[in-house]
Structure 1
Amino acid sequence: MNVRAVLTALGSAFAIYLGARGLVWADGMPERPGLMVAMVAMYVVAVALCMFADARAQPRTTAVIDEEESISLLTPGPGGPARLPLWACVLALLAAVLVPNLTVLALTADGRSTVSGTWYVGAIGLLMAIVMVRRRPWVAWGGIVLLAAALVVWLGPLPALALGLVGSTMWVLAAQLLVNSLDRASRDTLRLSQLQRAASAWRAAQLGRQRERRIQVKRALAVAGPILARTIEQAGVLSESERGEARIAEGQLRDELRGARLLDDGVRAELDAARRRGTTVSVLDEGGLEGLSDSELAVIRAELTAAVHDAGSDRLFIRASTDPRIAVTIVGRSASGGSLSEEDSVDLWREIPRPV
């Protein structure tokens, strides 16, 4: 049984008890018993409506951490928090005005300060506590003020305090403190769950980066390991072909470090073939491919593979663009007139668009 069910059961039991007190006339028959019964009935109806009348609830799926929008364990509704409807607030205030005053009018002068004659003091206090739990604090305190005014007018200040006004006020205050405490606990729990999700996401991202670094290290060892071992064995004295392999291995390592998201087996094979043809290749990823799915990256890599395969330039510059429309830019330059700085040395310009 949850907190809401327990509090609902307790509130219902207290309301029935207090209503029964108004119908048990052990201290003498009231002057207007019909009016007394009507006030008890009005009170019971007001309690029932304030306890069970529902307002539009905030869905759980859109819960927001906010001072006014926190998940509550007390209020009814599928998602909470459900504030008491305005019409029910008006009924509660109407009960706070009519029940004390008409109950006093239904009693004799001697019966107004008896146990059965002051049943409405605790009854209105309980009703306002329910209103407080239903997130209408100003209405609840307004009802207590109306109750206090009626008691002071009919009984006087000191008798009003002695006959239960202090207890009713404490009920409403305790209800407000309870609601505020549970709201604070709900907000803290929600914040903690968000922090846990953020920590889990961060840890998952770190594990992904660690796996990616391990894969890159393995590739680096596979590419550069043999030529490094050969270099050590030969004390740095390498043949011309071995120097060429070392340069190719260096380029492959740079590709893995500077543009890993651009690479797959097909792209690596074409870059290796281009280098063996004598082409100088530079690959750079500036973060422009972040957020793309694996299928979108596969499309971009396939176009990049075809572009490198068809390229005949002396130098290839491949850059992952941060432009919102262009994913990868490929520039090829060849010697023209003995200088690569001339404008006509650019013989390839290709842009791979981002997948739509």
Structure 2
Amino acid sequence: MTVLPVRRLLVGLGLVFAVYLASRGLMWTATPSAPVVYVSALALGVISTAICLFADSRIPAAYPDAPLTAGNRGPSKLPVWAAVLAVATAALVPTAVSLSVGADHRAESWATSYVGLIGALLTVATVRRRPGFAWAGTAALAVSTTAWLGPIVALGQGLTGSVMWIVGAQLLLGFLDRAARDTVRLVELQRAAVAWQAVQETRRRERRVRVRFALQVAAPILVRVIQSGGELTPDERAQARLAEGSLRDELRGARLLDDRVRAELDSARRRGSTITVFDEGGLDGLDQQSLDRIRGELAEIVSGTVASRLIIRTARDPRVAVTVVGRMDESDDEDSVVLWEEIPRQRVAADDPRRARD
């Protein structure tokens, strides 16, 4: 059974209960002195209860973190005008009934049925998240019934039960809201745990890929180092430097690399260039098409440079994804810089008005 049919069932039961309490008052054993006023007072109680049950609220849910008991899936907040009507009904009905039945019949069970009816009305207001108005109506009901019946009779004719209904409704709604919030937090924790497990699995898979790549690149030269006792030929030393550079690239800037970029970096190293690659998160959030474009531009830049020292770095910049700096020597002199290229995160079309603003 879904939430909506259950809610309709509870609303229907509340209305039937209010009609039942009012009908008890119509089974009088003595004719009221003002029957029209008496019946009108009971009708007002039933109508007010129906309004509080069905009144639509355009106010946002009072408890957005408790979706199981708020908004469209649970009791929403009662409109202020309906809550004021409930308080006014709680204040008027006891006096109207007491005056219409006469002093001799005010303590009769049929004449005090309004106490339960008003208690049901205020319970509905409590469930509809207007406890302040509900307690104000309870105070008005208590004052009126005590004034007309006396405290002992009023407590014995349903005032105690009405107060207990409101207390129970407020406590139950609070428990449901707390349970709903705990459920939401549990779901969030489960999602976070699943996401963490997925991230860890992805990292493990990536580490396995890196290990296989490292073995593929470095294993032959390492075997040669062991076999020769470290006595390598110049060609083997060059291969060892290339293998070391490739491993550093994979560890420091894997997202910058594809087959073409790897090939161009390897060619630049064979030409004698020293290359340093750093990925500091500049490629985060980019789609595959943007990554392919950036890698293609990087491969073209590396293939056309004659710099002896090449620094490739990504950074968390809103405009630039990759910066490539080339120097002719190891000094920090600005005159030694022969290459400075910035690859943007997004290419702007020539007729795009953002280009003019930039």
Give runs of aligned pairs for residues 19-30 of structure 1, distance below 5 A. Answer: 19-25=22-28, 27-30=29-32
User: Normalising by the residue count of structure 2, what TM-score does the alignment of the two structures yield?
Assistant: 0.90
- Distance between the aligned counterparts of 1:6 and 1:48, measured in 2? 14
Match runs of 1:183-222 below 5 Å: 183-222=177-216
What amino acid sits opposite 2:257 in the alignment?
L
1:120 and 2:114 correspond: yes
Q: Distance in 1 between matches of 2:345 and 2:318?
A: 8
Tell me if 1:17 matches 2:11: no
**Structure 1 vs Structure 2: percent identity of aligned residues?**
52
Q: Deviation of residue 149 (structure 1)?
A: 0.7
Amino acid at match of 2:55: A
Alignment of 1:119-268 (within 5 A): 119-268=113-262
Per-residue Cα deviation, 1:14-71 (whole angstroms, up to 9, x for no partner) = 111101111111x211112122211121111111101111102647xx9843xxxx32
Inter-CA distance 187–87: structure 2 relative to 1 (3 Å threshold): same
Q: Which amino acid aligns with 2:233?
A: S
- What runs of 5+ residues in structure 1 fail to find an aligned partner? none
- Contact 1:57/1:78 (8 A) holds in 2: no
Is 1:347 aligned to residue 338 of structure 2? yes
Cα offset, 1:303, TM superposition: 0.8
User: CA contact under 8 A between 2:142 and 2:159: conserved in structure 1?
Assistant: yes
3-state SS in 2 of match to 1:110: coil
Give 1:4 shift.
2.6
Residue number in structure 1 paired with 2:85 = 91
* Regions of 4+ moved over 3 Å: 339-343
Cα contact 1:57–1:80 (8 A) shared by 2: no
Q: Deviations over 1:134-170 (max 9, x none)?
A: 0100110111111111111111111111111111100
Q: Could you tell me which amino acid in structure 2 is paired with residue 36 of structure 1? A: Y
CA distance in 2, matches of 1:341, 1:112: 102
CA–CA separation in structure 2 for the residues paired with 1:125 and 1:184: 25
Specify whether residues 63 and 196 from structure 1 end up closer, same or farther in structure 2 by C-alpha distance, changes over 3 A only: farther
**Quick one: structure 1 residues 346 and 63, their matched pair in 2 at CA, closer, same or farther if it must change by over 3 Å?**
farther
Q: Is the 8 A contact 2:125 2:134 kept in 1?
A: yes
CA distance in 2, matches of 1:279, 1:40: 96
Structure 2 unaligned residues grouped into runs of 5+: 348-358
Asked if 1:269 is matched to 2:260, the reply is: no
Shift of 1:244: 0.9
SS at match of 2:111: helix
Give the count of matched residue pairs: 344
1:350 partner letter: E
Which amino acid is the alignment partner of residue 26 of structure 2?
L
Which of the residues 325, 330, 343 maps onto 1:331?
Answer: 325
| Aligned twin of 1:56 | 58
Amino acid at match of 1:138: G
Paired amino acid for 1:4: R
Q: CA deviation at 1:80?
A: 5.2
Shift of 1:258: 1.1
Query: How big is the alpha-carbon RMSD for the aligned residues of Structure 1 and Structure 2?
Result: 2.0
CA distance in 1, matches of 2:336, 2:199: 43
Deviation at 1:324, TM superposition (A): 2.9
